[in-house]
Amino acid sequence: MAPPGRGGSTFAENPEVAGAEARLIWSAEFDPGTIEVEAVPVSPGSRDAVDPAVFGKWLSVACGDDLTEHAVINDGFRRIRLDVVAGSLMQGPVLLRYRVEGIAALRPRVLPLRRLLALCTHHRFVASLFPLDPKMPRLIEMLRVHDGLGAGASLGDLAEALYGIGGHDADSVRRSDSLRSRVRRLAREARAMAAGGYRRLMRN
């Protein structure tokens, strides 16, 4: 498998796959919440055994040239990323040994570790550990503006489609100008995001 390129993922997902079905495995370079582990074979009866089979279709694994297994456990909306640097998740129950050094590296992994613990305990994603991202509404607007511009829409068209501007009275005109300015800012941010800014999303 080739190293991550400009996009930052370990392999290219089929672009025709629906978003909820896509299984993107971002490089740990861009996904600081990636948990690095060793997978040691263990008896199924061990209290610390993790059986990857229980994750079913949620688990996707891609093997790198260095034999590292890049894995994601993903139900289409929530995800946990693992890099298996020794052993394998594909050979039955394992004991996971976690590789974390220092405080700086620990901080972005605390929540993913809690999510993994809850998943292994309850065999489901615990919703309270996946709070909604407050930036999401603006990111969705940004994506819609980017798609609209790509389809040839003007800023005015986009303001009308997104916010339903209309009318010719003074208040409507002022609102129209304000919303066009908002769409202009979204367009500027969307271009920056498409030019590579998206790779910083998971670091924020």
Same domain, 67 and 49: yes
- For residues 55 and 102, is the Cβ–Cβ distance under 8 A? no
Same domain, 95 and 140: no
Distance CA 94, CA 49 (A): 5
Burial label for 65, CB within 10 Å (0-12, 13-18, 19+), is: exposed
Q: Cβ atoms within 10 A of the Cβ of 34, count?
A: 23
Report the Cα–Cα distance between both ends of the chain, in Å, rounded. Answer: 28
pLDDT in tens, 92-145: 899 999 999 999 989 999 999 999 999 999 999 999 999 988 989 999 999 999
What is the domain range of residue 196? 136-203
**Which of 113, 129, 145 marks a domain boundary?**
129
Predicted structure pTM score: 0.77
Same domain, 83 and 42: yes
- pLDDT at residue number 114: 98
Distance CA 130, CA 127 (A): 5
Same domain, 102 and 182: no
Total structural domains in the chain? 2
- 14: tokens are 């089929």
- pLDDT at residue number 1: 44
